[in-house]
Structure formats: C-alpha cells, structure tokens
Structure 1
C-alpha cells in the first residue's frame, strides 16, 4: 500500500513540476482588446491625467507601435479584420451592426472565414473568448462555431457594466430630454442624464444576456472585473498547454459607468463626464495588471506573447476619449478613427522598451500567431508576420499600403501619403490628401496642390476596391 502511495505521490509531484511538456514550443497568445480607447489616452501615449501603469508595462517590456492601424473605424468590422487577418470588405463585412440588427440571421462573420481561434485550435491550442463578440448574435455565428472552446461574455455591440438600479457605480446616460423637458445635464444620486449627444442611450442589454458557453447567467460583478476574473481562471486552468485568450473588454465603451472605488481616485477631476471615463480606464488598467500577474504566477512569462490594442479610435464627444494628436474620432477615416494604441511583449523573445514607427495592422496578429504556432495558412490574408520586423531581420515597412471602405467613406494609406474621403455622397467623393510625415494632424489638404499624385492614389484605391466584395448587410 505504501508503495502505491509513493508512486501516486511521485506521479503527482512530476505533474506539478512539469506544468508544460518541454517539447511543446508553441507560445501562448493573449490578445487584450480595449473598446473605443482613444489614441492619446494611455500614459505611454502621453496622457498625464489618467495613470495606466499596467498597460504601459507592456510597452516598457516590449514594443510600442506608433502607427498601429485597425481595419475599420468602428467595432464590428475592426474585430472581423483582427480575427481573420483580412481586410473585412474582402468578404463583405463592411458595416457596424447595432441594436436589434445583431439578431438578424443574415448578419455576422461568415462561417467560411477562418478565424484566429480556428487556426490555432486546429494546431493544438485551447481557445477562449472572454468579453465582447459583436460578430453576429444568432446561433450560426456563435463564438464556439468560430473556433473558441470557451466563451463568457455577450454578443452585441455593448452591455451595461452594472444593470439597474446601478448599485456601486456612478452612471451617466444619454437622453433626448431631461426631467422638465429641459436640455443640458441633470444630476441625481449617482445617476446623471445628458442631452449633449441629442439621442437616448442605446438599449444595450435588450436580448443580450451575459452567457457562459451558450447559456445565460446572472453576473453580479462590475463587468470589467467579471471578465478579468474569468480570464485569470482560464490562464490558471490551462497553464499546462498552449492557449489563445482573446480578452475583448467592453471598457471604455458606453454606457459610462464608473465604479465607486475608482471614482474616489479621481475626485480632482471636476467634470463628472471625464471623471467617469477616468474611473473606467483605471479599472481596465488594473484588470490588465491582474491578467499579467496571473501569467507571472503561472510561470508563463517566457512562453506568452501578449498584444494590447484598441478596436478603433475613441468617440470623443460621447466619452471624452482623446485621440490627440490625431484628427477625427470613431467612425471617421481620419487617423483618429483608424490609428490606435497598440503594443506587444514576449519576455526573452522580443526587445524591451522599443518603439516601432512603421505602419502595422491588427491583421498582423493573425499572421504572427500562425507562424509562431506552426500553423500553415492555406488561404490569402492581408496580415504579415511581425516577428522579422520586431527582431530587426527586416528593415522595410510591414505594410506599404492600407485600405479602408465603409459605404462612401473611404481611405488609403500609401507610404507616407493618406487619401481620405469623408463625403456621404457616393456619387460625389471629395478626396483629401495628406502627407503624414509632415502633417500627422491632417490639417493641410494637398489635393489641389498635387493633382497628379492625387489621381495616382485614387487609382490605387480603385484598384484595391475592385478586389472587395459587396456588403453582406
């Protein structure tokens, strides 16, 4: 009997000591995605007002991209590009479904598109999406039908962090009108109404429950904290094998709800609008810190590649989210809509404290992950493997050209030149031209001064546009 116990004990000790088989070289991949975070809102991006030490530590211990781009100026097409490594308009994913449209059975990420999760799952990874999906709200588009083993989150474009009666938070909601049919701002007990946007707060939670797998659950924690709790648990449970964790926070997307603990930290900010945003961002930063701590606790620092980025630029009037020094905001084709904070770290594998100043794209996460995981990409993608660039093996820019289209609004980046059309009239585009090397703020339109270059870039955009598909919805 004692001999059996000794064998059992020995086996147990060996299992604990070898948390991961030494012959497995596939790194864990964590994608931390913020929602509606402006380009200028992190400490490492130049914001002195709201400290973000945990997010900043990714840049400090890795590489910060000054020209990180996403594939769409708003949530859903941007996520489609990240997940597939492709320009989403190539397969018709052009627009941003909101509200009840999320439940339309014709709207969602097509099943034929191979996601990052599917690719990694099929080479041995355990995969999880925690947070916001926004790639279709009906059964055919469920995350578990797109390669994710585990899902905890919601499927629409947004969700309340705390439902009514909004306990433990200060909540600011948009309204067409205030009590007494007034305009402006109404302040009650931990509840603020504002008419500055001219419309009501969207019905984010309508038919949009928090679900685990496919079943609705009642979540009592502030949602950012709940997603962090689930992420930490996932890392802990799967530390013995390669995993993909796609942690798609809905912070700092509306509705604006700041937890009491964090509101107290920012008592010096007089404007409650800005103060709530600061509380939400600080909460997000602490959550990123908890995830990083779990990676370290599990001894996975040298086995884990971690990306952090936002899905699009910040909607400044709605949230106060700043995109400075860039022009524009969410839904714009100017830099403020499509250039985002983006960084990556992998201890012992990529340089520390480096700033990379050539254009990269969220699509590159797919290609980079495929190469590191040993996956064979059998279809055309637009993303590129960033590792040779991060390691100094390639000096050229990862992307000479980037393309965007959303209805009549369009853009093209070619080398240092940016072509932009913000006109809503599809038959009469108004093309603007900027030299991003000398005019990062896109203040000096050179379309009239450089007609030949303008014509050439429009031709390039049209060539790319012919490769795209008609909108699926």
Structure 2
C-alpha cells in the first residue's frame, strides 16, 4: 500500500473529524432562577449563602454585570425570553390569570414563534423542566416547541413545593404522599430527576434544555435534609407565621395559592438558594460524565429581582446588592440580575463584561450560534461577539420595560441614563424620574429637573416603544 496514500487518508480523516466537531451544533442549557437577586450569589458578593457551583461557573466562563431580566415579574419575563421581544411588544406582559375557575395564566398565542420552535427546526431535541407560566392549551409548552415538558404549567400552583401533582406533557403525574396536608415529595427534587434523565436520554443529539427553576420563589420551604442543616442554626430567627393575609398552612383548610408559614425563614431561604447551586452542580456533573462539556453552552439567570413575600428577607441577605428596588420594581434591583455563561474554548474563563444586554437578546444570540433564522419582529440583539471576545458587538439604542398594574410603571435605559415613571395611570400621576447610572448606580438622586431634554426624549420613547395590547392595556 502506498504510504503517502495512507498518510493522506489519515490526515483527511482527522480533518473531517475536526471539522465535524467544530461545526457540530452545541447543546444548550438555560437555567432560570425564580426571584433570585443579583446579590444572592457568592460571585456577585453574597456573604452568608454558599453557592460554590455557580461561583465556579463564573470562574470557568463569563459573568455579566449589566444583564437585565425581561420584566419585574414571572410570566412576562418568560415571554420576553421565548419571543425575543420586550414588554412593549411581547404577547404576555403581566401575570394575568385565565379566570372563570380555570387553571393557569393567559396563554401565549398559538402563532407565537418561540425560541424552542426555532431550535427545534434546527434539529434540536427540546425539553422544558420547571415552571412555565405561559398558559395551557395553545400556550402549553408542547404546543410552543417543546418535545418534553415536566413541572408546573400554572405558576400559582408553583407557590407550593409539595403539590399533589405536576404536569408531564399532557398527563398528570401524582406526587407520592402529597395531598395538601401531608408533605412527602418535594417537587423541585422530582423535577431535577427529569432534567438529568433528559440529558442522559439525548446525549447523542443536539438538545435545548430550558430549566426554569421554581426556587427560591415563595413559599419559603425546604426538606429537613443536609442542605437545610447547613443553615439550620446559623441565624437569629423570627418565625414567619399565619398572622397575615397571604399565609395558609398545609391542612384541610389550605388556600392553595397562598404561602406556608416558616419557623426559620432565613435558614430556609438560604437553603433554597444553595439547593439551586446543588442542582446546577448536578447538571454540570452530568454533562461532564456524558462527555458533552466541550460542546455545551450553559447559561444561568434570574427572572427578576428578589421578592419581599412569604418570609423572604432580601435586606438581610443584601439580595439586591447595591441596587434600589425588588421584584415588581423597574428600578435596577427589580430587573438587574445575575447572568453567567460557560462555553468551553469559546468563552474566556473568568471573564467579566459590562455589555448592556437583556432577556430578549437570548433568542437572537442562540439563533446566531445555531445558524437559525431570526424572526423579523424581535427587539433583541445577539451578544455572541461579547461571548467570544470579538469587538464588533452591536449595542441597543435603548432598553424598555412596562408593567401595567401597581398604578402603571415604565422604564427606559439609554446609555448611562435611566428613566423610571411610576403611577402613570393614577389620579395623582407620578413623574418621570431620571438617574445617571454612571454616577448614581443606586438610583438615589432624581436629576430630571436638570435635564429636561432627556426627560422629553424618554417620554417619547415610552410612547413609541410599544404597541397596544387588549390583554394588558396601558392608558396614561
């Protein structure tokens, strides 16, 4: 046999394998915490709560300092993620229930093009494991691009961590021992089992695993296991009891969508954040054991700022860090949250970026990575150049948020300027507050009276950036 031919064949085979590896579609895992503040992670400054796996993610990848949630509450934030549209355009702009004694939230319309559908068209197996909140029927995950769904469709049911059942595609999966009185099966642990099985089952195919965790959203509750024992006696505690209007304990008289009382709220909340970290560690370990790490993108984010409900204590833990506001606020503390990305050999280890980005940028970013077509009606901009260290990163002209309850709230960020307008639809109307984030990151000093030209520009943006919504009307 001609030795030159053998050598050529070997080199050609190596080149083919190298080309195939370089052009193989990356697996994508997007993990979304629920009501976690940017200050809840060690890599963002947390002092009391242990998050070693997430801190390791930051060390092995990129940490974003200016990445924004899609909204200040659950459902619209998820809608912006799935559609690539901000809350002035995305179909779901608030936590609106279907009503008429029906379960679930107003469904995302059938004709919506979702991130899952885009990736599925590229040959991805798609799975969603956790809290959906975008409706049953036409809005159901199985009808919005997900091959497999396991978890909570109704986000009000997700107020409880020991429900009698979860949804598995179009079936009900009863949870052993749970009957609204007895608490045996901790739902997040059961959902985690399904996540890990999905990774195992689809290790030989490109997959998109969307993992919207329920933790650490209220109710504040945890199994009495090794994770809880890390904090059981660490803090001076004041029990959170039933002596308020939105607390109801498990038992025959339970109000299902309320929250349980909790004897040690600080320890319990801390354990819930650490449980998230444990889940992330299990997912990373599974990816490593399956030999998928080099071709898997893992992203971690929170859907909005920290909650002040159900026994949470964001001020004690400094959950919103140096930022003003909490969940439902359009100040930085309500919408600026942690974002970590690991992509071996693509994203530089230990890198930190101040690129201003947001939920509605995820769809075009993953579309560009997977060579997918991007819908024409999106508001997002791909941040792939930032991830891979290129200098041609496009920038947003502005970011826009709206929230049609709590008196009506809007916010705009443009450059270092931030405009926030509360009580837009009340008799005693508020005014547009203006902050220079470069000088006042905590939004303590309203300088609107000193910059009337910027105020006028922001008012015009708030008017022009949206389309009308019959479901989520915003009159001012």
> Considering the TM-score relative to the shorter chain, is it more than 0.5?
yes
CA, structure 1 residues 439+291, in 2 after alignment: closer, same or farther (shift >3 Å)? same
Q: What residue number does 1:462 align with?
A: 463
Match of residue 400, structure 1, among 374, 377, 397: 397
Whether the 8 Å contact between 2:34 and 2:304 is mirrored in structure 1 is yes
2:274 matched to 1:274?
no
Match of residue 218, structure 1, among 148, 159, 174: 174
Q: How far does residue 23 in structure 1 lie from its aligned partner after superposition?
A: 8.2
CA deviation vs aligned residue, 1:210-261 (integer Å, no higher than 9, x gap): 0111111123442222222111111111010100000111000111112212
CA, structure 1 residues 161+107, in 2 after alignment: closer, same or farther (shift >3 Å)? closer
CA deviation vs aligned residue, 1:410-454 (integer Å, no higher than 9, x gap): 000011000001225356341100001111110000012222221
- Find the aligned partners of 2:42 and 2:105 in 1 and give their Cα distance: 41
CA deviation vs aligned residue, 1:137-194 (integer Å, no higher than 9, x gap): x32211000000001011112425643xxxxxxxxxxxxxxxxxxxxxxxxxxxxxxx
Q: What residue number does 1:287 align with?
A: 279
CA, structure 1 residues 223+106, in 2 after alignment: closer, same or farther (shift >3 Å)? closer
Q: How far does residue 98 in structure 1 lie from its aligned partner after superposition?
A: 4.9
Whether the 8 Å contact between 2:126 and 2:146 is mirrored in structure 1 is yes
Give 1:38-49 correspondences, 5 Å limit. Answer: 38-49=37-48
Whether the 8 Å contact between 2:433 and 2:446 is mirrored in structure 1 is yes
Q: What residue number does 2:192 align with?
A: 228
Whether the 8 Å contact between 2:107 and 2:137 is mirrored in structure 1 is no
- Structure 2 length-normalised TM: 0.81
- Find the aligned partners of 2:104 and 2:235 in 1 and give their Cα distance: 44
Match of residue 312, structure 1, among 287, 304, 317: 304
Q: What residue number does 2:420 align with?
A: 420
Query: What is the number of equivalent residue pairs in this alignment?
Result: 408
- Find the aligned partners of 1:441 and 1:44 in 2 and give their Cα distance: 20
Moved over 3 A (4+): 21-24, 98-106, 395-398
2:288 matched to 1:296?
yes
SS at match of 1:210: strand
- Find the aligned partners of 2:446 and 2:22 in 1 and give their Cα distance: 56
- Contiguous gaps of at least 5 residues in structure 2: 1-16, 177-184, 238-263
Q: What residue number does 2:14 align with?
A: none
Across the aligned residues of Structure 1 and Structure 2, the Cα RMSD in angstroms comes to: 2.2
Q: How far does residue 383 in structure 1 lie from its aligned partner after superposition?
A: 1.5
CA, structure 1 residues 400+424, in 2 after alignment: closer, same or farther (shift >3 Å)? closer
Give 1:69-108 correspondences, 5 Å limit. Answer: 69-98=68-97, 100=99, 103=102, 107-108=106-107
SS at match of 1:257: coil
Match of residue 264, structure 1, among 221, 225, 229: 229
Q: What residue number does 1:250 align with?
A: 214
Q: What residue number does 2:454 align with?
A: 453
- Find the aligned partners of 2:63 and 2:102 in 1 and give their Cα distance: 37
